[in-house]
Homo-oligomer: A and B are copies of this chain.
Amino acid sequence: MISSIKRFLIGRPLKSTALGEQKLSKTKALAILSSDALSSVAYGPEQILIVLVTLGTLAFWYSIPIAIGVLILLAALILSYQQIIFAYPHGGGAYVVSKENLGVNPGLIAGGSLLVDYILTVAVSVSAGTDAITSAFPSFHSHKVVIAIIFVLIITILNLRGLTESATILAYPVYLFVLALFILIGVGLFNVLTGKVSPDLSAPLGTPVAGVSLFILLRAFASGSSALTGVEAISNAIPNFKDPAPKNAAKTLMAMGTLLALLFSGIVFLAYYYGISPRAEVTVVSQIAEETFGRNGMYYFIQGTTALILILAANTGYSAFPLLAVNLAKDKFIPRMFTIRGDRLGYSNGIIILGVASILLIMFFEGQTEHLIPLYAVGVFIPFTLSQTGMMLKWIREKPTGWVPKFIINTTGALISFTVTIVFFLTKFDRVWPVLIFLPLIIFIFHRIRRHYEAVGDQLRITTCEPAVPIEGNVIIVPVAGITHVVENSINYAKSLSPDQIIAVYVSFERDDEKKFEEKWKNWQPDVRLVTLHSHYRSIIQPLTKFVDTVEHKASESNYQVTVVIPQFIPKKGWHNILHNQSSLLIRSFLLYRRNVIITTVPYHLKK
């Protein structure tokens, strides 16, 4: 039954050879990988104004130079990541770049913060989208957490179904959102040019503002830069592209950068020109839309697509997290299970872990994930800084032809990213301090895991270890609970292996019982030696283990191998198991994990 539910939700398994068909075209990739970055337009410009409004509305003109700063950073990032794509065509983004150029630990810092960040992306963006919906339909407000969880489940299932299927469904909302914002910006600019909106609504550029300081301007810049989260997603996901993957990925990245730049500057400009102040209840985009169209169908179209893309921004996490996990798992820093492709060829374990972790986050914060945003932004800018610094070193070290402009681009990007990171730490330390605890912890765990895998590898490798001890003979112990077909079966099997000795062991709780059983046994299996053990504390495991230890000790002296043959009857239906004490299972796990004996289970399948 479980398997048919699974079949219904995620579809029939796909053959490994179908992998090529699951790859993404450029238009689908743009939809699936840029929803996070593009959705930032819905809140990025607002973040700048929220900081500036502390200086008064006169300071709003600063949003223009700050936006230009953000655009420069965006350009530097896009150009830099394009170079990363060609330099590292197998994907991995910041983790691989930092690891190869700066060393393992910087790589792990980048990888670890991105890993946590993708979980935050999912939780934060789904919560934000759910907020947008429950603002429109207040009666759902008390069910916010449940709604958010349902969205996460839907996105998880879509991703388990596979890349192309989810891309097809997700492409529409993304392109609708882009279309809606272009209409908004276009009509807004038309109104400006035709003089329908008076330009003196806000202070002109260069108006002197009291109390302005570099600190506040940097803070506004850092807040605005949170619109750039999600830019690295494409460079992580190169293996998902159709061939030629790097070329297609670079083109998609450029398209995304252009779209992001256009939408971002359009919104900032209109907000400045309309003289819009950030308000708690109504977003900046919503104010612009209302000024432009009034509260008509177009307004609701813009609001609706905005809510949708906020939820879909989560999908970027789903594309990037499993691939990053594969890279980390291949280097043995996280469990190997992340490298396994599921029925539909996606890395299902990564997808499922991401879904579960973000649902836990949503439940823990009860859907109030807003104050995770600075944490999340820092988690992006740390790997940005590291990967660009890595690229700088790469150019200096390799010095390919025409490396100087590339070096300059990366240096600019690294410097701005580093500045943004520092500004976040200086201005929002109360929100971002957990990074300083989680990152070292994660990196410690990464190293522990790797050390374990290496220790295991060393011990398993044939060449490095001493040869196996030869087995000179076999002793078989059969724990018996009575004179039944199950026991008969096991004894027959033990005999068929013609070992050097078979010992049947009976654990009794009462003295009378012992004698009786010994006699019965002698009549039934006179050629098999029976040992009866008395259990004072009504436990089977304890006396049995002690006995096995004694036998094992003696056997190992002459290189004999001890095998415990456990008779087990298998009921016809699963629920029958609760009617039987699971002694066989208990004995098996206890001996297997703690003693050096081989465990054989002889099943006796019941027919009714």
Contact = CB atoms under 8 A, between A and B. Distances in A.
A561 B16 contact: no
A166 interface: no
A568 B510 CA distance: 37
A498 B498 contact: yes
A455 interface: yes
B455 A608 contact: yes
Contacts of A602: 598
Interface string A441-462: 0000000010011011001111
Nearest to A13: B537
B601 A592 contact: yes
Interface stretch (A275-283, A384-392, A486-494, A549-557): A486-494
A570 B593 contact: yes
Identical copies in the complex: 2
Interface residues of A, number: 75
Interface in A491-519: 492-493, 495-499, 509-510
A456 B581 contact: no
24 contacts: A14-B537, A15-B536, A15-B537, A335-B580, A453-B579, A456-B571, A459-B569, A459-B607, A459-B608, A462-B484, A462-B485, A462-B524, A468-B485, A474-B496, A493-B598, A496-B561, A497-B497, A596-B603, A596-B605, A598-B600, A598-B603, A599-B600, A600-B600, A600-B601
Given A460-B484, A461-B484, A493-B598, A576 B452 contact: yes
Contacts of A486: 460
Contacts of A17: 536
A546 interface: no
Contacts of A214: none
Given A16-B510, A473-B496, 6 more contacts: A15-B536, A16-B537, A336-B581, A459-B569, A462-B484, A598-B603
A538 B598 contact: no
B455 A483 contact: no
Nearest to A574: B593
Given A16-B537, A343-B537, A462-B483, A335 B601 contact: no
A579 B452 contact: yes
A597 B537 CA distance: 35
B601 A337 contact: no
A371 interface: no
A341 interface: yes
Interface in A5-40: 13-17
B596 A598 contact: no
A596 B493 CA distance: 13
A405 interface: no
Nearest to A581: B337
A2 interface: no
A595 to B, nearest CB: 8
Given A486-B460, A592-B601, A493 B561 contact: yes
Interface of A: 13-17, 335-337, 340-343, 449, 452-453, 455-456, 459-462, 465, 468, 470-471, 473-474, 482-486, 488-489, 492-493, 495-499, 509-510, 524, 536-539, 561, 563, 568-571, 576, 578-581, 588, 592-593, 596-608
Query: Interface of chain A, helix or strand or loop or mixed?
Result: mixed
A172 to B, nearest CB: 31
A271 to B, nearest CB: 48
Nearest to A458: B608
Given A598-B600, A603-B592, A605-B596, A468 B453 contact: no
A470 B456 CA distance: 42
Contacts of A606: 455-456, 459
Contacts of A603: 592-593, 596-599
Contacts of A495: 471
Contacts of A524: 462
A604 B471 CA distance: 15
A597 B337 CA distance: 28
A160 to B, nearest CB: 14
Contact of A461 (B15, B485, B497, B597): B485
Contact of A16 (B449, B488, B538, B607): B538
Nearest to A455: B608
